[in-house]
Amino acid sequence: DQQVKQNSPSLSVQEGRISILNCDYTNSMFDYFLWYKKYPAEGPTFLISISSIKDKNEDGRFTVFLNKSAKHLSLHIVPSQPGDSAVYFCAASRNNFNKFYFGSGTKLNVKP
């Protein structure tokens, strides 16, 4: 049973436009969420996080929104750049930050 889901396996966006990546979760006990970016043949790198006490966190071009009632979070990238092309994973944890559950990833392609 996958507790964190990314239903869009891929997304293609024009450079300069907004990229919106979505993530849904089923466990209402999750209280901490992260987004990771991954290039082929490399380990994931941390992008941005959000705690359940917030509904928005912003870091430069990246903003994560959390809708607890809908059990949904999204990552907005504005403006999108070709270098943003990668696979993006969302991850969730509850209380114990030792274990994170990952979504299946969304491959973002930003076209020049």
Partner 1 sequence: GAVVSQHPSWVICKSGTSVKIECRSLDFQATTMFWYRQFPKQSLMLMATSNEGSKATYEQGVEKDKFLINHASLTLSTLTVTSAHPEDSSFYICSAISPVRRGYTFGSGTRLTVV
Binding site for partner 1 (CB under 8 A): 9, 32, 34, 36, 41-46, 49, 89, 91, 93, 97-100, 102-105
CB of 43 or CB of 60, closer to partner 1? 43
- Least gap, CB of 87 to partner 1 (angstroms): 9
β pairing state of 106-111 and 10-14: parallel
- Least gap, CB of 105 to partner 1 (angstroms): 6
β pairing state of 86-94 and 32-38: antiparallel
CB of 17 or CB of 56, closer to partner 1? 56
CB of 12 or CB of 14, closer to partner 1? 12
Q: How far is CA 42 from CA 22, 35, 84, 89, in A?
A: 22, 16, 15, 13
Is the separation of the CB atoms in 100 and 91 below 8 Å? Answer: yes
CB of 44 or CB of 71, closer to partner 1? 44
- Least gap, CB of 95 to partner 1 (angstroms): 11
Q: Strand, helix or coil at 84? A: helix
- Least gap, CB of 98 to partner 1 (angstroms): 6
* Dist. CA 23–CA 8, nearest whole Å: 9
